[in-house]
Amino acid sequence: MAFLRGLVWLGLCAAAVTVLAALWSGLHPALDSFGVWLVYGTGMALALAVLCLLLRHWAGAAMGGLLLLVGTVQLAPHARAFGATEGDALRVLQHNLKYLNAAPDLADRLQGVEIATLQEVKAAQASLDALPEGWTVILCPGTRVGGQAVATVLPVTETGCARGVAWARVETPEGPFSVVSLHLNWPWPFNQAQQLEEILPDLSEVPRPILVAGDFNQTPWSAAVARVAEATGTTPLPDLRPTFALDGGVLRVNIDHILVPDGWGGQVALAQTEGSDHAALRAQLGPVAP
């Protein structure tokens, strides 16, 4: 019994690391990294709280229950439904293609879409070049895994690039709109924090309103996503959709997001990976109905 209780406390400590790291993620990039596992830590807290109740291990049950509460409070805003949209919906495809993926079916997948935000387009240059007449592609250089791009059938009036950023000002039925394709580096101990320090001033200068979509390599409750949202005047569409699999698919995390300006909402659904290691996101966006 003592051995089992020791395992329970070990599990509770692991859950506490993820839950509290997510809660205080703004204090240091390392906490933002551990906070990626908030869903798993919250689930572990629930399982261990129930086990402790069965074992009449009241201290463990209390700690598990407290961690469950703190984790659930953090996750709840990202699980709620967004309001229905009115007016002409803006249809968007977001996808990290993976740098080795030539994406030969890209033109077919863009049928019915007005905007595509793409990352790691290194091997897909020929597919971008082969898009049908009417498509405009804004391609910005990236790292060894390739750059990022905005592709659209809407009129383009302005464009720009930054490190991990491609953006275009487009004319939509709802008025002018800036579309940002974003690819952040891996978080601590890698250099995501440094990249953010470099690009946030550039993002804050992009004309508003702004739509941001991309591979953030971070979860929607992270400090990194919050900083991008603050700089662009946007809000992440609520989601707990796992878009990226680690360890052969055993662990899945949601690190690809769509951020919309105030007054906008929409419906987002997971699509197929289509040769990538990321699932695509397909969204219909528009002003939120009152």
Q: What is the pLDDT of residues 195-222, one digit of tens each?
A: 999 999 999 999 999 999 999 999 999 9
Helices (H) then strands (E): counts for the chain: 8, 14
Sign of CA dihedral 241, 243, 246, 249: positive
247 burial type by CB count under 10 A (0-12 exposed, 13-18 middle, 19+ buried): exposed
Q: What is the DSSP string of 206-262?
A: SPSSEEEEEE-SS-TTSHHHHHHHHHHTEEEPP-----EEEGGGTEEE--EEEEEET
The DSSP symbol for 26 reads: G
Q: Is the peptide bond before 209 cis (omega within 30 degrees of 0)?
A: yes
Mean pLDDT for the stretch of residues 139-149: 89
Confidence of residue 1 (pLDDT cuts 50, 70, 90): low
pLDDT at position 132 is: 94
Mean pLDDT for the stretch of residues 33-41: 96
> Which helix H or strand E contains 61, and what residues bound it?
helix 58-75
| Residue 5 confidence (pLDDT) above 90 | no
Q: What is the pLDDT of residues 76-121, one digit of tens each?
A: 998 865 544 555 579 999 999 999 999 999 999 999 999 999 999 9
- 55 vs 95: CA distance, rounded Å: 46
